[in-house]
Amino acid sequence: MSIKYIFITGGVVSSLGKGLTAASIGHLLECRGIQIAMLKLDPYLNVDPGTMNPFQHGEVYVTDDGAETDLDLGHYYRYTHSPLSKASNTTTGQIYDTVLKKERRGDYLGNTVQVIPHVTDEIKNRILACAAQAANTQVVLVEIGGTVGDIESLPFLEAIRQFRYERPGDCINIHLTYVPYLKAAGEVKTKPSQHSVQALREIGIVPDMILCRCEKALSDEIKAKISLFCHVAKEAVIDEKDVENSIYEVPIELHRQGLDEKVCKLLGISSPPADLSRWEKMLHTVLHPKGKVVIGIVGKYMDHQDAYKSVFEALHHGAFSAGVEVEIRRFESDRIVENGSVEAAIGGCDGYLVPGGFGERGWEGKVLTAKYCRTKGIPYFGLCLGMQVMIVEFARHVLGLKEAHSTEANPNTPDPVISMLIEQKEIQNLGGTMRLGAYPCRLKPDTLACKAYGKTLIWERHRHRYEFNNEYKAAFEEKGMCFSGTLEHGSLCEISEVVDHPWMLGVQFHPEFKSKPLEPHPLFSDFIQSIVLQKRAKGL
């Protein structure tokens, strides 16, 4: 059978949860035994989100092959088994970069280079390349970023119109829209959805299905109205109301309305019904926790909802595996310094996590957090920059190197315990110059890390420029720091643990990118589990 394609667009407003919806549809198809691949098309001109400020773009999700991608790929990873690589996320910047390079090489043989067909052809090539990642791909889900009606998403929409025209019977369009409830009028309003579908139809795309984001389930009457005005069969109008407790309820809610059955019917796919038993079992644990742990995250983009998306999710997964729920408290590291008292600023949590970060700002509040945890025996988990912070704190207060620092924050420090990878010292451009993607790491037996993973060779994803400076290794070990993970066939320190502490561990990589609700990451599980045990031992 030919490969089938589902195009997912969004209308009315942004932040409707298009990525989560696309991932949920992918999940449901996988539950029917269908092999899927997912692709995110982003309409901005940046080549990748790697150079964007997290305040603007949120988290940068890194794949095994070192692509810096949109955070929606994190949803795809958590909900599905789609291959995820450089072929899974394309931006307008990448498309133009390719087209312009071809033009300079003379590949267009003297032709005028235009949006149609050259840019749209390149977009179509990316869709085919995503499908070609695995030999047995059956369905490709393509999510188009942005909102229908934006100038910048037009070439993508035109490309999918052509793609569909060239493959009749193999493509469907699902449009995600917003149906607001107007309190003053006491009514739900369909007009914004009508307008956004009109905008789609103007470019020649008629949706096959409409998913309506709404606060409460829509009445039959409203669905009939949307059906009539938007030219979509009534049974293909599905509501996606706000979930009450967990984002992992979304696939179940969509399945309840027969979404996967309808998609398969529209695409002419015959498959067994979806088996959601594992997901439902996980959800049962999520909805019936036996206790709670409170984790403080100390970072510098805490006000942005999505800056640490995968970290938040991985903490939830760790909690699922321990059968508890997690309450996350967010702390801006700068405010800890301003407050003067660490206890007053961040006290009261069962454990603390310091996530990744860049630049000079925010360091001191994080160092105070690490000191607070180390001296009080409170569990601490450092991710990437969080490990570097833990090293700097240990150097200053245990080794007595008072001005120890990372050269990223202080290039003139007399004790550069964290410094730049030698081979990268020549960096001139910021884009794509980091140690990126998956590397193997050998674990030392009988360490916290080795016990958590239950094996001695692991692969984890990196995104950083600076590393632990091995000239200080012996001094650290002598004072009670254990380097429990080292780059396989290399000497870079990837994991560090404070030996005389219940749970203080830092990793130079990003374990949060490899955690799923059905396969919680071992370090997040162990972190939460150790807190649960510590609380129980105290009779809490």
Residues at the contact surface with ligand GLN, assessed by CB under 6 A: 356-358, 384-385, 408, 463-466
* Residue 113 vs 427, nearer CB to ligand GLN: 427
Residues 6+ apart with CB under 8 A from 177: 10, 11, 12, 16, 192, 193, 196, 197, 210, 211, 212, 213
Least distance (Å) between residue 508 CB and ligand GLN = 8
* Residue 144 vs 354, nearer CB to ligand GLN: 354
Least distance (Å) between residue 408 CB and ligand GLN = 5
Q: What is the distance between the alpha carbons of residues 319 and 288, in angstroms, rounded to a whole number?
A: 12
- Residue 278 CB coordination number (10 Å): 11
Among the listed residues 384, 441, 450, 493, the single catalytic one is 384
End-to-end CA gap in the chain: 58
* Residue 49 vs 357, nearer CB to ligand GLN: 357
For the question of residue 512 being annotated catalytic, the response is yes
List strands edge to edge, sheet with 481-487: 325-332, 292-299, 351-354, 380-383, 504-507, 493-498, 481-487, 435-443, 457-464
Residues 6+ apart with CB under 8 A from 469: 416, 417, 418, 419
Q: What is the distance between the alpha carbons of residues 397 and 409, in angstroms, rounded to a whole number?
A: 18
Least distance (Å) between residue 385 CB and ligand GLN = 3
Least distance (Å) between residue 48 CB and ligand GLN = 15
Which residue's CB atom is positioned nearest to ligand GLN? Answer: 356
CA separation, residue 318 to residues 77, 381, 432, 461 (Å): 16, 13, 31, 18
Residue 463 tokens, joined: 């995104």
* Residue 28 vs 420, nearer CB to ligand GLN: 420
For the question of residue 31 being annotated catalytic, the response is no
Q: What is the distance between the alpha carbons of residues 203 and 205, in angstroms, rounded to a whole number?
A: 6
Q: Do 210 and 181 contact (CB within 8 A), yes or no?
A: no
* Residue 354 vs 443, nearer CB to ligand GLN: 354
| DSSP-assigned letter for residue 57 | H
Least distance (Å) between residue 423 CB and ligand GLN = 14
Which is it for strands 481-487 and 466-468: parallel, antiparallel or unpaired? unpaired
Among the listed residues 175, 317, 464, 510, the single catalytic one is 510
Least distance (Å) between residue 44 CB and ligand GLN = 21
Residue 512 backbone dihedrals phi, psi, to 5 degrees = -60, -25
- Residue 235 CB coordination number (10 Å): 13
Q: What is the distance between the alpha carbons of residues 442 and 36, in angstroms, rounded to a whole number?
A: 32
Beta bridge partners of 354: 382
Q: What is the distance between the alpha carbons of residues 323 and 539, in angstroms, rounded to a whole number?
A: 17
Least distance (Å) between residue 465 CB and ligand GLN = 4
Least distance (Å) between residue 374 CB and ligand GLN = 20
- Side chain identity at 361, as an amino acid letter? R
* Residue 209 vs 307, nearer CB to ligand GLN: 307
Among the listed residues 30, 494, 512, 521, the single catalytic one is 512
* Residue 396 vs 435, nearer CB to ligand GLN: 435
- Residue 95 CB coordination number (10 Å): 25
364: left (phi > 0), else alpha (psi -120 to 50), else beta?
alpha
Least distance (Å) between residue 345 CB and ligand GLN = 22
* Residue 161 vs 510, nearer CB to ligand GLN: 510
Q: What is the distance between the alpha carbons of residues 271 and 250, in angstroms, rounded to a whole number?
A: 21
Q: Which of 481, 482, 498, 490 has its CA nearest to residue 462?
A: 490
* Residue 113 vs 430, nearer CB to ligand GLN: 430
Least distance (Å) between residue 383 CB and ligand GLN = 7
* Residue 42 vs 408, nearer CB to ligand GLN: 408
| DSSP-assigned letter for residue 489 | T
Beta bridge partners of 144: 41
For the question of residue 57 being annotated catalytic, the response is no
Q: Rounding to the nearest 10 degrees, give the CA dihedral for residues 62, 64, 65, 68.
A: 0
- Residue 265 CB coordination number (10 Å): 13
Query: Which positions are catalytic?
Result: 384, 510, 512
